[in-house]
Structure 1
Amino acid sequence: MAVVGEEAAPPPPAPRTPPSLLSLCLEAVAAHLATEAAGAGGAGASGHSAHLDGDPEQGDHLTPEQVAEALPWELLHRLASALPPVALESIHHAAHARCYSSADTTAVLGEQDGIRRGIKRSRREDFNTAWQALFKLRWPVNDNTGHDTLVTATWQQQYWENHLQECLDEAAESALLPSFRGSIGELSISAAKIMNSIFHSEDISQQHSRLSYQCSRFGCYARCLRLQSVLCTPETYGLFQYCKLERLMFIRIISESEVHGVCLLLSCHAETLVSLEFIHCQLYPAVMDKICKSVCRKESLNHGIQRLSIKSSCICGTKPLTISAGLLNFLSYGKSLQLLSLNDTKMQPSFAKMIFLTLLESPCGLQTLEISENNIAGWLSTMDKSSTISSLALESNISLNSLSVLNLRGNNLQKGDVEDLHKILIKMPNLRDLDISGNPIMDEGIRLLVPFISRAIQKENPLLRLRIENCDLSSIGVSKLLEGLTSVKQPLDMLSIADNPLGSSVAAALVLFMSLFVLKCACSSVAAALANFLGSRVRDLNVEDIGLGTLGFQILEEALSMEVALSHINISKNRGGIRAAYFVSRLILQAPNLVSVNAAANLLPPESLEVICNTLKQRTCNLERVDLTSNMHLSGSVFPVLLEFKKHGKPILVLPSHLSACAPYDDDP
């Protein structure tokens, strides 16, 4: 009996359940396989001897093939979850061989037994779950390795490809040191950082830690690789000679020897490559000619590249009119080409002209064209006037029917280029996404584009996404644009007019654009303008940093008296204060499909949280995120009800951290 006032003794710990004989056996087998894979020859992870005899009389070591053949599938999968990656690789390979060997006996054993064995064969796919667990354990944030719709990969392949990429990155760091002399393949990979992850052992043989061994053992899984310039050598070509590379990214290719290494790799994998990317490279016309020739198949001009991306690289020669003939041939014969991206390539207007003319006459099914961050002002007007070939191309019925995405961001296009741009856009009947941001076209330029935009969003395959950010527009120009958009039946899916100094006067036009139903007004002029207005159901609106201010948000809030169809809206950097909070609250109530709101950097006072939280108590619907970061007055706020608002286990309200309060907000335009 416990004495009054005396602290009761803690209850005795629950007895531990002793391990079963089966679990001990599987642990011993797993330890043995792990040790054999590492080549260490010592004790396993459990501390027991890792030496298991397959035949007591002959003393043979237990092999993965023997384990895969002896264990039932249920136990084999249970064993797989306890193995390090290299040991799992061996078991996976052995089980795969077991599946196909059993398939050959179907005809002998009969149909029913063949069906039963077929079910067992399908269970080998369960190893994909084990590989997925290993992948997420090693890379918890990254769920992919750069794969996209072009390359389909299992978790096993993704694991070894990611591992191999880490080995290559570490080897590149060592090879870039001035003191490095020797063979890249002989470089040893850090056991602490990388090798321990696949062997689960610190006692790894020197042979297994070499890059050459890793490439020979796991290179068969490589499909997408990123190679630094120092790795582009004939030796690297030998390491990946028997792989089936499909996507390659090259970084900082400058010297002639590096170009030679790149061309060797491209020639070796010309039959399988579908995507090429160059970043910070010097791709002068002579170099580009060699690269384009290397990807051609069997000495022909045809190739299978579907995506070509060149970023922050020089592709023009020192002479103004020097253009890579190889690149033009690459575009002319690229029947598989779907994406062409030339970003910050020091492109000259004449080069841009030739690129477009070549694509216009090419049989390729190009879907995405990006020519961005290049100073090509005037290139469109020269197409119309400099040559008869250009004029014939523009006047003919030839068009880029397959093109759906056009990005002309940051090309210093002026308002005088817009009239000629219209002639180009009509050659793209299926355009769905247009980005002309970062070009100082001003109000006159946007006025010339409004007729095309109005027609484009009413076609059978309408324009859906429009970005006109940082184009030196005023509220007059944007109001004309919004008026044109709201006068048609078909809505835009996404509109971005961010980073234009519009001011609060554009707020009323925004309200009309966001509204869902027809408005009525006593003023005859406004009523006439809205008579055919059936509602613009825009789902994604970006009005970041347009100078709305408190007055603009007040106009938006007071005029927003109807349901809107928005899913995403960005109103950040508009210095809205408490009026921005009232607008967000009103929007949450009036937009049932709202998913995210970005109200960052709006000088929100502490009382803004109460305003927004009171609304969230009434309605959250599909809302997943309200970004209130970079509002330094909210960083120290404590509002317990914040914890109540969650979606998919994550908080809806995202507040600034305490550290952000140390950095003053710059409200100087």
Structure 2
Amino acid sequence: MAGVPSLVDLCQSAIADELLEGDDNNDILSVIYELPSELFDSLVPRLPPLALQRLQENLPFNFRDNFDRANDYNTDCRKRRRCGSLDAAWRALYRFRWPGFGRQKQAVTWLDKDVEAKCDSVDDWQQIYWETHLQDCVDAVAETALLPSYDGAIGEIQIPDDILEHIGCKRHLIKLTCNYLKFSYHCQQFGVYARQLRLQNALYVAETCDLLQSSKLATLELQWIKSNEHVEGLCKLLNQNSETLKSVDFIHCKLSPTFINALCNSLHMKGLQAHTVEHFSIKRSSFLQTDSSPVPVGLTSFLTSGRSLHSLTLCDDQLGRNFGRAIFNTLLDASASISMLDLSENDISGFLSQFRWRSSSCSHGIGKSLQSLRVLNLR
């Protein structure tokens, strides 16, 4: 009879329910791992994300004599076991939840070819899935935290039902403990997978640093910095990830020299006047200073102390000619090898024609940072 589930289908559904609702008893897991390969491989695609996560977290090291050590996702360097059917399942779950999202292998213009090749070779769908899930949680929590009526802790904010349903809680919302519903739970469980996040100013508080303590962030997009309170909370997060951050983007911000100094200084690695940032961007923002004012000392120090800096974007920031000229002077003394410089959509037209190269910068009259320049956008 069409539409009637088979006995195998019913058993697989029961196993999925047990993995979602079960306690810490691993009896069911040991039984699953002993299943014949054809039954195991047919079960895996039927599991919702939370159930698949529990299955993979407890996978024996000798499972099918096939495991590998992935990048360290937390401080205790635990091994994360993977096999082909699990990777395929995570890939299917990702594409089902975010069809056409195209997030996993986007080309990044500021990366050199060697780094880009490494990125293309990475194919950890479990990491990508939970990272994107955490971003959805962050966006939802920010909406609540921005409400004037909300004055509670960030971690106590409940995740919307539609997000919980995506990870397999649709038929289990009533039975779930309150921990599953809180943002803090999702940070604790899945923050370890986060490599890049987009944050709004409601989350620029010390509590966010604690919630994302297990994350090793490489990319941050930071929006709507407007106050000293925002800067203080954000500086702690930047400093916490100063050894892993490769890309930092500020968007829709109002930045005073004091703010810029604090933010740039927090990117320096602990105990060193150096940083590992490769891409630095400030877009659609405003610098709260006159064009005749000097470039903030923190930004100058940041540009001259980062040997890894490849890309600098100061786009649509209401900058004037003097600021643009000062940035060029700073880059002449920089130790980095800038390959892309974008100063577009600012009021700097004609400044380059009046620029005077300083012969003291190097024997050829041009700094190392500008010798490597491949892309220059001033329009």
What is the TM-score normalised by the length of structure 1?
A: 0.49
Deviation at 1:343, TM superposition (A): 0.5
Q: Is the 8 A contact 2:254 2:286 kept in 1?
A: yes
Across the aligned residues of Structure 1 and Structure 2, the Cα RMSD in angstroms comes to: 2.8
- The secondary structure found in structure 2 opposite 1:309 is strand
- Aligned 1:71-90 pairs, distance under 5 A: 71-90=35-54
Q: Is the 8 A contact 2:277 2:308 kept in 1?
A: yes
Q: Name the CA shift for 1:333/1:61 in 2 (closer, same or farther; >3 Å).
A: closer
Matched, 1:25 2:25: no
**Alignment partners' CA distance in 2, 1:101 and 1:234:** 44
**Alignment partners' CA distance in 1, 2:141 and 2:209:** 15
Per the alignment, residue 66 of structure 1 pairs with: 30
Deviation at 1:70, TM superposition (A): 2.1
Per the alignment, residue 183 of structure 1 pairs with: 153
- Aligned match of 1:136 in 95, 99, 107? 95
Q: Is the 8 A contact 1:167 1:189 kept in 2?
A: yes
- The one-letter code of the counterpart of 1:190 is P
- The one-letter code of the counterpart of 1:233 is V
Residues 314-323 or 225-234, more deviating: 314-323
Q: Name the CA shift for 1:220/1:101 in 2 (closer, same or farther; >3 Å).
A: farther
**Alignment partners' CA distance in 2, 1:234 and 1:133:** 36
Q: Is the 8 A contact 1:249 1:277 kept in 2?
A: yes
Per the alignment, residue 35 of structure 1 pairs with: 21
- Aligned 1:360-375 pairs, distance under 5 A: 360-375=332-347
- The secondary structure found in structure 2 opposite 1:226 is strand
Matched, 1:274 2:246: yes
**Alignment partners' CA distance in 2, 1:308 and 1:227:** 16
**Alignment partners' CA distance in 1, 2:98 and 2:192:** 21
Deviation at 1:142, TM superposition (A): 0.7
Per the alignment, residue 619 of structure 1 pairs with: none
Deviation at 1:350, TM superposition (A): 1.6
- Aligned match of 2:327 in 350, 355, 358? 355
Per the alignment, residue 208 of structure 2 pairs with: 236
Q: Name the CA shift for 1:64/1:350 in 2 (closer, same or farther; >3 Å).
A: farther
- Percent same amino acid at aligned positions? 38
Q: Is the 8 A contact 2:188 2:214 kept in 1?
A: no
Per the alignment, residue 129 of structure 2 pairs with: 159
Deviation at 1:210, TM superposition (A): 0.4
Deviation at 1:23, TM superposition (A): 4.0
- The one-letter code of the counterpart of 1:128 is D
Deviation at 1:286, TM superposition (A): 1.4
Q: Deviations over 1:341-363 (max 9, x none)?
A: 11111212122112112223322
Per the alignment, residue 396 of structure 1 pairs with: 364
Q: Is the 8 A contact 2:264 2:298 kept in 1?
A: yes
Deviation at 1:28, TM superposition (A): 2.2
By relative contact order (CA 8 Å, sep 6+), the higher-ranking structure is: 2
- The secondary structure found in structure 2 opposite 1:248 is strand
Q: Is the 8 A contact 1:352 1:376 kept in 2?
A: yes
Deviation at 1:18, TM superposition (A): 7.1
Matched, 1:313 2:285: yes
Deviation at 1:27, TM superposition (A): 3.0
Q: Is the 8 A contact 1:366 1:403 kept in 2?
A: yes
Deviation at 1:61, TM superposition (A): 5.0
**Alignment partners' CA distance in 2, 1:170 and 1:17:** 37
Q: Deviations over 1:50-98 (max 9, x none)?
A: xxxxxxxxxx955464245322343222211011100101111122644
- The secondary structure found in structure 1 opposite 2:54 is helix
- The secondary structure found in structure 1 opposite 2:287 is coil
**Alignment partners' CA distance in 2, 1:234 and 1:153:** 33
Per the alignment, residue 126 of structure 1 pairs with: 85
Q: Deviations over 1:239-294 (max 9, x none)?
A: 01121111001100111111011110011011111000000112222111111111
**Alignment partners' CA distance in 2, 1:142 and 1:96:** 33
Aligned length: 352
**Alignment partners' CA distance in 2, 1:355 and 1:159:** 39
Per the alignment, residue 165 of structure 2 pairs with: 196
Structure 2: 5+ residue stretches without partners: 69-79, 109-115
Q: Is the 8 A contact 2:44 2:85 kept in 1?
A: no
Deviation at 1:381, TM superposition (A): 4.4
Q: Is the 8 A contact 1:343 1:370 kept in 2?
A: yes
Deviation at 1:340, TM superposition (A): 0.7
Q: Name the CA shift for 1:354/1:163 in 2 (closer, same or farther; >3 Å).
A: same
**Alignment partners' CA distance in 2, 1:17 and 1:383:** 75
Q: Name the CA shift for 1:327/1:96 in 2 (closer, same or farther; >3 Å).
A: farther
- The one-letter code of the counterpart of 1:398 is I
Q: Is the 8 A contact 1:224 1:245 kept in 2?
A: yes
Query: Could you say which structure has the larger radius of gyration?
Result: 1
Per the alignment, residue 139 of structure 2 pairs with: 169
- The secondary structure found in structure 1 opposite 2:137 is helix
Q: Deviations over 1:492-544 (max 9, x none)?
A: xxxxxxxxxxxxxxxxxxxxxxxxxxxxxxxxxxxxxxxxxxxxxxxxxxxxx
**Alignment partners' CA distance in 1, 2:210 and 2:82:** 36
